[in-house]
């Protein structure tokens, strides 16, 4: 006779069911990423320091306790004098609090700090003769590296081993002579604007003495702000004064606003974050888990609901949002909005003109994590729609991307499901035109010293392939954990590129990329021999990926080389261009 427990097990096997513990927020603590520990003694020390000593523990309830935040969402970081803590242009998801020491922030530089000093790469364009010479001057070995070029700048050195490698400046005063700098003292926060807004770091911060910092990932900072008035007031005022004002000034819809009107918008605007996914572990693993259930729109939090009265003008600050419309018994995707794009202009303008309560034509849903700035309807009416001609122009310039309705709906759902909407230079290949000649790959190899930077492979939908080539994302999560700044965005042009000289092969960028666009390769000398670590004798790894041929005058070689016009590099957020290409 079969026991009850065995029967349940048999039934489970028959149905193909599998049990697992539900993922909790703190399954992976922030300390795990650098193999450190927030001990009870360290937490007690932190709670004795202002402003943490004034936090009312009773305001925290449920699973998210004050000590839990400090134990799991914080970690102690130490930096020696001259070490770079964050670089301008880096992506980050954490803020810092200075426990001890002083740092210098490079706020404004007349002469930009040399890229090599910060561990990044200066984008020098190749001349015409250099471009011609690379056709016959290619190494015979793939992934060849000239190790003699792995030298150090006179002002920069490295410290630490493995993923703990850091870059420090040997002469701070000389490096920052031409910069407008500000001191960051003990007891101050920095980096909170980038952490909460999910935007690039606005300044390079260097330790001016031996420093002890508390690094707080954005989830913990968010919860501290929710429960503590002092920290919330401090960080909210800095965000409104600096980040929000800068963001509004650079949003086209407010281009004609006066400084007084911008100041009013800053005072009355609201900042909101939508999304249920925390950065517990690899972004790639999380995105894959989400993708399995992506058809269930309940997993995409509603930012604005079709048919609701518009309580405000919604501007996407970071992330992506899906536009959907009711269709039969479900919803269909109309398009998506990225950073800087606006939702609700038409509805608010119509309501103001006709003096009626309008309703949203579409629903707006968060894909992953989306942050938005909301301008209350009354303020938007007063500032943006007081002039009828100006209001008509705003409506015409901010029509929602209905062009998506002309594209096959399966293809639209594919773009959103795979998060391809994040790409600003996505490689799309029309497989009806592609003859598999591989001229695109050969051109890429010829341009990069026999080192092809992408694979002509990837998911296919409606006979369009999205190749495994770097998409140069709007929100490049690959940059977040790079310890040396080797993977970075070019400040002027926006390409995401890798400095081979400062890449240490830690694999952080490759592990975080959700699109399998970064490869780790064994590098070789001109004889084809593997270059090995002198201590462990293991092959040296380097990260490699598409750099959009940023040093070539003609742009991406893959696109120029395709003889049949099958390949294009496309910003998938430019809806009209995508629709024109798809329906050509």
In a domain, 158, yes or no: no
* Residue 136 near residue 562, CB atoms below 8 Å: no
Q: Is 267 found in the same domain as 198?
A: no
Tell me the helix, strand and coil percentages in the chain, rounded to 5: 35, 25, 40
CB within 8 A of 525, min separation 6: which ones?
141, 144, 145, 147, 531
Residue 390 sits in the same domain as residue 430: no
Q: Are residue 440 and residue 292 in the same domain, yes or no?
A: no
Which of 209, 227, 245 is where one domain is finished?
227
* 392 & 431 share domain: no
* pLDDT surpasses 60 at 490: yes
**Minimum mean pLDDT range among 177-186, 287-296, 315-324, 421-430:** 287-296
Helix, strand or coil, per DSSP, at residue 190: strand
Interval 381-388 mean pLDDT: 75
* 318 pLDDT higher than 80: no
Mean pLDDT of 294-300: 59
**Residues 439, 377 within the same domain:** no
Please indicate whether residue 524 or residue 9 has the higher confidence score (pLDDT): 524
pTM of the model: 0.64
DSSP H/E element including 217: strand 211-217
**What dihedral angle (degrees, nearest 10) is formed by the CA atoms of 103, 106, 107, 111?**
170
Q: Is residue 239 part of a domain?
A: no
- pLDDT at position 281: 39
pLDDT tens, position by position, 8-38 = 444 444 344 343 343 455 656 777 656 667 8
Tell me: pLDDT of 137 over 80. no
Query: Which segment of 17-21, 282-286, 288-292, 553-557 scores lowest on mean pLDDT?
Result: 17-21
φ, ψ for residue 77 (rounded to 5)? -125, 135
Residue 231 binned pLDDT confidence (cut-offs 50, 70, 90) = confident
Q: What is the pLDDT of residues 161-196, one digit of tens each?
A: 555 566 666 555 555 555 667 788 888 888 887 777
Looking at the fold, whether 347 and 425 belong to one and the same domain comes out as no
pLDDT, greater one: 474 or 387: 474
Q: Which residue has the higher pLDDT, 281 or 541?
A: 541
Extract the tokens encoding 441. 């790959």
Domain count, the chain: 3
Sign of CA pseudo-dihedral 37, 42, 44, 50: negative
Task: Please tell me whether residues 279 and 200 are part of one structural domain.
Answer: no
**Are the beta carbons of 408 and 462 closer than 8 angstroms?**
yes
* pLDDT recorded at residue 237: 74
Res. 287: pLDDT tops 80 = no
User: Which of 69-73, 118-122, 311-315 comes out lowest in average pLDDT?
Assistant: 118-122
Instruction: Give the mean pLDDT of the chain.
Output: 76
Average pLDDT (240-256) is 79
Q: DSSP string of 485-542? A: S-EEE-TTT--EEE-TTT-----HHHHH-TTS--EEEE-B-TTSPBPB-TTT-PBPEE
For residues 202 and 316, membership in a common domain is answered with: no
Max Cα–Cα distance, the chain, nearest Å = 85
Instruction: Give 181: exposed, middle or buried? Use CB within 10 Å, 0-12, 13-18, 19+.
Output: buried
pLDDT of residue 563: 92
Query: Could you identify the residue written with the tokens 């310890």?
Result: 483
- ω into 51 cis (within 30 of 0): yes
Q: Is residue 93 a part of any domain in this protein?
A: yes
Q: Residue 486 is part of which domain span? A: 412-582
> Is residue 265 located within the same domain as residue 354?
yes
Q: Rounded to an integer, what distance in angstroms lies between the CA atom of residue 225 and that of residue 219? A: 10
What pLDDT band is residue 329 in, cutting at 50, 70 and 90? confident
The candidate with the shortest Cα–Cα distance to 378, out of 394, 400, 362, 357, is 357
Range with the lowest mean pLDDT among 60-74, 89-103, 211-225, 482-496?
Answer: 482-496
Cα radius of gyration rounded to whole Å, the chain: 26
Residue-wise pLDDT for 88-131, tens only, equals 777 777 899 999 999 988 755 444 455 555 556 565 666 656 66
**Are 264 and 349 contained in the same domain?**
yes
Domain of 491, CATH number, reads 3.30.70.20
Q: Is residue 247 part of a domain?
A: no
Q: How would you classify the pairing of strands 541-544 and 519-522?
A: antiparallel
489 and 341 assigned to the same domain: no
In a domain, 156, yes or no: no
From 379, 400, 421, the end of a domain falls on 400
Q: Return the HEC string of 343-370.
A: ECHHHHHHHHHHCCCCCCCCEEEEEEEE
pLDDT, position 434:
94
Ramachandran assignment for 243, one of left (phi > 0), alpha (psi -120 to 50 degrees), beta (any other): alpha
Residue 400 is predicted with a pLDDT of 59
* pLDDT score at 17: 39
CATH number, domain of 96, equals: 2.60.120.10
pLDDT of residue 296: 52
Alpha carbons 176 and 482: distance in angstroms, whole number: 23
Inside any domain, residue 531: yes
Q: Is residue 103 part of a domain?
A: yes
Which among 543, 463, 538, 473 has a CA at the least distance from the CA of 502?
A: 543
Q: Quick one: 447 and 313 in the same domain?
A: no
Q: Strand, coil or helix: what is 36?
A: coil
What's the rounded mean pLDDT across residues 67-92?
86
Separation of alpha carbons 551 and 556, rounded Å: 10
Domain end (from 400, 423, 457) = 400
* Residue predicted with more confidence, 150 or 569: 569
Within a domain: 477 = yes
């Amino acid at each position: 006779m079969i026991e009850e427990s065995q029967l349940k097990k048999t039934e489970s096997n028959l149905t193909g069911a599998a049990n697992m513990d539900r993922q909790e927020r703190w399954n992976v603590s922030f300390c795990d990423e650098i193999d450190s520990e927030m001990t009870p003694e360290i937490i007690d020390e932190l709670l004795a320091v202002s402003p943490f000593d004034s936090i009312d523990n009773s305001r925290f309830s449920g699973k998210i306790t004050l000590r839990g935040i400090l134990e799991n969402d914080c970690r102690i970081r130490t930096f020696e004098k001259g070490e770079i803590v964050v670089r301008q242009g880096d992506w980050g998801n954490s803020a810092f609090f200075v426990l001890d020491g002083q740092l210098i922030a490079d706020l404004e530089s007349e002469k930009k700090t040399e890229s090599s000093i910060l561990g990044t790469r200066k984008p020098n364009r190749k001349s015409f003769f250099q471009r011609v010479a690379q056709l016959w001057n290619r190494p015979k070995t793939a992934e060849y590296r000239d190790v003699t070029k792995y030298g150090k700048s006179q002002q920069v050195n490295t410290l630490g081993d493995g993923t703990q490698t850091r870059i420090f400046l040997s002469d701070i005063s000389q490096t920052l002579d031409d910069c407008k700098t500000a001191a960051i003292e003990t007891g101050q926060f920095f980096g909170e604007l980038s952490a909460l807004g999910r935007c690039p770091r606005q300044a390079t911060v260097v330790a001016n003495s031996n420093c002890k910092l508390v690094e707080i990932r954005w989830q913990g900072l968010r919860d501290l702000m929710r429960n503590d008035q002092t920290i919330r007031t401090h960080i909210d005022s800095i965000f409104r004064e600096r980040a929000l004002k800068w963001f509004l000034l650079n949003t086209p819809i407010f281009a004609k606003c006066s400084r007084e009107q911008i100041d009013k918008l800053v005072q009355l605007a609201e900042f909101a974050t939508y999304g249920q996914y925390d950065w517990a572990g690899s972004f790639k693993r999380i995105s894959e888990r989400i993708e399995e259930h992506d058809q269930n729109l309940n997993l995409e939090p509603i930012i604005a609901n079709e048919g609701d009265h518009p309580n405000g003008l919604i501007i996407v600050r970071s992330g992506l949002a899906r536009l959907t419309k009711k269709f039969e018994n479900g919803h269909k995707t109309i398009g998506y909005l990225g950073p800087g794009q606006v939702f609700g202009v038409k509805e608010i303008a119509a309501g103001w003109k006709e003096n009626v309560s309008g309703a949203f034509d579409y629903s707006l849903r968060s894909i992953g994590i989306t942050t938005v700035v909301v301008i209350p309807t009354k303020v938007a009416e007063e500032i943006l729609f007081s002039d009828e001609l100006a209001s008509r122009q705003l409506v015409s310039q901010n029509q929602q991307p209905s062009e998506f309705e002309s594209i096959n709906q399966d293809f639209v759902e594919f773009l959103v499901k795979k998060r391809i909407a994040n790409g600003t230079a996505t490689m799309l290949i029309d497989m009806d035109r592609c003859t598999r000649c591989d001229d695109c790959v050969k051109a890429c190899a010829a341009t990069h010293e026999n080192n092809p930077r992408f694979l002509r492979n990837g998911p296919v939908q409606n006979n369009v392939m999205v190749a495994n080539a770097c998409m140069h994302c709007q929100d490049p999560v690959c940059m977040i954990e790079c310890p040396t700044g080797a993977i970075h965005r070019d400040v002027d042009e926006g390409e995401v590129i890798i400095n081979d000289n400062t890449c240490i092969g830690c694999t952080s960028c490759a592990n975080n990329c959700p699109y399998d666009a970064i490869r780790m390769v064994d590098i070789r000398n001109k004889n084809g021999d593997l270059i090995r670590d002198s201590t462990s004798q293991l092959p040296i790894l380097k990260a490699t990926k598409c750099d959009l041929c940023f040093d070539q005058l003609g742009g991406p070689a893959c696109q120029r080389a395709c003889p049949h016009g099958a390949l294009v590099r496309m910003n998938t957020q430019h809806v009209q261009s995508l629709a024109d290409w798809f329906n050509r």
